[in-house]
Each structure stands twice: as structure tokens, then as C-alpha cells.
Amino acid sequence: MMGYQSNYQHKLFVAGFNLEKRIRKNHILRKILEKIDFNFIYKEVKEAYGNNGNVSVPPPVILKIMLLLVLYNVRSERELMITIPERLDWLWFLGYDLDDEIPDHSVLSKARARWGVKAFKSFFERIVWQCIEAGLVDGDKLFVDASLIDADASNNSVVDTQSLKRHLNKSYRHLEERLDDLTEQKATPANTRDISTTDSDASIVRQGKGKSKLCYKTHRGVDPKHEVITATKVTSGCVDEGEVLKEIIETHEQNTQKKVDTAVADSKYGKIDNFLLCHDLGIKAHVPSIEERHRGSGRQEGIFPKEAFTYNSESDTFTCPAGEVLRRRNYYKKRKHYEYKASSGICAQCELRGKCTRSQDGRSLKRHERQDDLDIMLTYATSREAKSDIKTRQHLSERSYARSDRYGYKRARWRRLWRMEIQDFLIATIQNITVLITQPKDRMSKSNVQIDQISKYLRQKWQDYSITAFIERFFSRFAFV
């Protein structure tokens, strides 16, 4: 028999209602509250509040509201505040009762300005440390990648800096400062010429054959064991990936208190400076070399590769396939390499010239002033282990950014770099929290220790994270049922 709903009468009073009982045991917000101590923020932002005046909304509540904003990817802060009284789980998470007054949305922007980036950075670092304590981070191998974020500004706001003085406005001084910053960050000239008057920290970036956009760029270091983000940084969109590698490695080491043994990245990081940086830091760079990638293509197509020439370290000369000697001629200070050439006229009469060079001046070779160190690094970069890591990187990094997509990382919520840093720290923190709360409680039980050991052994033996991660997940499933 079908039931009919009678006319609904709103109750004026509800007795025996308990928010605590309404939230299911495996609710994500309950798990977050069980694992995360939000009270740390009191100490962190203490200096930002005075001793007199209006009493503020408690900082842990504000932090939790910001967490909800990103976790549920709510586009507007007004919308979030309107929704809070309608959501029992959110009320419970924030420690509010049904009839408590919800703060105005402006508390969030005021808190961001008052607290600054430091508080959110500290939150991120604390969660990374919790992940380490839970045994979720190895720390010795680091996967590095970067991704563009669309700025919250229209392309129509972009002006040509060379005619900027005609558009003198309030923000002109700041725009000039930003141009100085970009020069320090080694941005390309094309990116420093156009600047947005709406968000002067964002920069115009051309994405493939697509349209140019105003962008920021997020750079991140991911530990492969459970894909915990151990280091993150936002820059203007035009900043080159390779320039940030050192900072990402240092941040990872600082946050994890572990020394990086291997850095894995794509060919955008495969610059000479980065190989030498890793050499000096005692790190194996599993990074495809840009030079290697372009070898044999373009103008080099069909001509003898560098390997066809034999280097003699005693005489510091090269011997070419025709048996002629190429001696050191010039030093290029900017690129820090020497040029080697045969005596004038020899190449012009050589029978192999067609296969060797297209230059009228004959064939020349370049050798970096630290070529021996570079050769060591390139041996690591082309090893079997490196090839496997580079393959794993593609999936691991894409997965990490795909997860960030749920929290709206592709679009800037706010304007200016410092606010973008806050957004970036919040997203990375939430991603790490989800790793933390999905792990079984007794990670260090006997079976877990064994799984850890098996996994580590397989990794060392096969040097393949994708296979070993699969095996680890497979065993873990049975161990915790």
C-alpha cells in the first residue's frame, strides 16, 4: 500500500537532538577532527591580535572554515557562510550549535591579511610532519613538477609596460616593483613586457598553441611512498621550473628532516645548472637532459653527434672522425663552456664535411668547464633506474595534480601572490590530510612493519615505484581487513 505524506508542519522546538549523533562515524570531517589539532593556530597568530577591543572569531574556527572552503571547493566565501547553517556536518565540525550565529564572510579575508602566509605554511608543515610520524613518507626520493594556475584576472587588464607611463595610476609603483622582481626571477623578456593592472603578480603565459593567459605556477615536491606533498611553492606563471628546483629540494629536506638521495623531474628541469646543483648536493638527478632530447634534431639532423669525437683529457683536445685535432679556442663566460675547433682551412677541405657541419667556419664543439661532473650526472640520468623513475613520475605527478583539481587548484580564488600562496598551502595540506586519514590506525603494527620492509626491498631491487606501490596496496588490503 502506498503511503501519502501529510502536510508538513514545522516544529518550533526539537527535543533530544544531538548533532554529535547525526554525524556518521566514517564522515571525513569526523576523521579530520580526530587526527588534526587546530588549536595550534592560537599560538601561531597570537601576535596578530591585540589585548583590547572586539573579541574575534576564534582562530581555529576561521581555519576550519577556510578548510571547508577548499575541501568542498565552494567558489565564493559568501556562499560558504550562507550554506554553513544548512549543513549539520559543517556546523558540527566548526563546533557550532543549530541556532549559533555564523560569522560574516569578511572574517576570512581579514584573517588572511592579519595572519599572513606564515600561519598557513606552518599548518602545511605540521601536517607533513604528522605524515612522517605516521610512516607515510620515505624522504629519500623526491618527484618534482610544476603546473599552471589561471589567475583571477582578465586578459583585458594587461597593459604594455613600455607604454605604461601613459596609464599612470595608483598601482603604477607596485607594477614597477613587480617588474624588478620578475627580472630577479629570470623571467623571459616577453613576460616582463606585458603586465596586468588587476593582478600584477600574475604573468602572461602562452600554453602550447593555445591562447595566452594570465597565470601563476605551482611547483611541488611529492614523496612517492604515499604521494604526500612535502614541498610546495607558487610563483608568477613565467618563472621557469628549473629555477625553483633548489628551493623545492631544500624545503623538502627541511620539512622531512631527510636528505634527498634522488630527484626525479621532467626535461624542463634538465638544464646544466640543475645537473650541477644536484652534483654539488650529492643528489642523483633522474631528469632527461634538454640537450640530449634535442640531439639529432633541427640543425643537428644528419651530422656527426658529439660522441663521434674523442676527447683527450691530457692534451685537452678532441679528435674528429677524419683524425684531425680540435683545440680549445674561446671561452663563453655566460654559458661557462669552451669552444674547440680544428685549424682554419682543414674543415673546408675535408671529405666528411657534409656529414659533419653546415657552418662556413668548420665544425666546433662545446665543452662545459665542469664537463666531468656533468658526465657523471648524465650517466645517472640515463640509467635503467632513472628511466623507470621518469616513467613513474609522469603518472605520479599527474595524479597529484588531478587530486588537487578536486579542490580547485586550477583557478586562483584570490589575487596577488601572497594570497595564492595561502591557496596553495591549503590545497596541499588538504591533500596530505586525506592521505593521513585514509591510513589504517595501527600503521606500525607488526604486519605493517613487514609490508614496509617488503616494499622497501622490492623498490631497491626493481627500482620501480608503480609496481611496488601496487604490491604495497595489495598486501595492505589484506593486512587491515
Smallest CA-to-CA distance from 451 within 429, 418, 415, 475 is with: 475
Is residue 353 a contact residue for ligand SF4 (CB under 6 A)? yes
Q: Which stretch binds ligand SF4 (CB under 6 A): 28-36, 167-175, 247-255, 316-324?
A: 316-324
407 within 8 A of 70, measured Cβ to Cβ: yes
How far apart are the C-alpha atoms of 193 and 190, rounded to whole Å? 6
Asked if residue 340 binds ligand SF4 (CB under 6 A), the reply is: no
346 near ligand SF4 (CB under 6 A): yes
Q: How many Å separate Cα 63 from the centre of its chain?
A: 23
| CB of 305 vs ligand SF4, minimal distance in Å | 12
**Does residue 350 touch ligand SF4 according to CB under 6 A?**
yes
H-run or E-run covering 366: strand 364-368
Site membership for ligand SF4, residue 321 (CB under 6 A): yes
| Three-class SS state of 49 | coil
Query: Of 352 and 437, which has the nearer Cβ to ligand SF4?
Result: 352
Give the contacts of 10 (CB within 8 A, at least 6 positions apart): none
Nearer Cβ to ligand SF4 (252/337): 337
Nearer to ligand SF4, 220 or 363 (CB): 363
Nearer to ligand SF4, 156 or 349 (CB): 349
Rule CB under 6 A: say whether 362 interacts with ligand SF4.
Answer: yes
Supply 80's cell numbers. 560558504
Half-sphere CA count of 145, side-chain side, radius 13 A: 21
Rounded Cα–Cα distance for residues 256 and 231 (Å): 9
User: Considering only 21-29, 347-355, 376-384, 425-433, which stretch makes contact with ligand SF4 by CB under 6 A?
Assistant: 347-355
CA dist., res. 254 & res. 424, Å (int): 18
3-state secondary structure of 306: helix
Shortest Cβ 371–ligand SF4 spacing (Å): 19
Q: CA 479 to CA 444: how far, in whole Å?
A: 12
Residue among 252, 213, 253 nearest 236 (CA): 213
Q: Identify the CA nearest to 416 among candidates 62, 109, 11.
A: 109
User: Which residue do the cell numbers 605520479 mark?
Assistant: 396
Q: Which of 94, 131, 320, 433 binds ligand SF4 (CB under 6 A)?
A: 320
In this chain, which stretch among 79-87, 321-329, 418-426, 456-464 interacts with ligand SF4, using CB under 6 A? 321-329
367 part of the interface to ligand SF4, by CB under 6 A: no
Report the C-alpha gap between 56 and 45 in whole angstroms: 12
Tell whether residue 28 is a contact of ligand SF4 (CB under 6 A). Answer: no
Q: Which stretch binds ligand SF4 (CB under 6 A): 51-59, 189-197, 339-347, 453-461?
A: 339-347
User: What's the min distance (Å) between Cβ of 168 and ligand SF4?
Assistant: 58
Verify binding: residue 347, ligand SF4, rule CB under 6 A: yes
Binding of residue 471 to ligand SF4 (CB under 6 A): no
- The verdict on 325 binding ligand SF4 (CB under 6 A) reads no
Query: Given the DSSP bridges, would you call strands 284-286 and 262-264 parallel, antiparallel or unpaired?
Result: parallel
Which residue in 205, 231, 342, 433 binds ligand SF4 (CB under 6 A)? 342
Count of residues of this chain found to bind ligand SF4 when the rule CB under 6 A is applied: 14
Query: In whole angstroms, what is the distance from residue 241 CA to residue 146 CA?
Result: 7
Residues that bind ligand SF4 (CB under 6 A): 320-322, 324, 342, 346-347, 350, 352-353, 356-357, 362-363
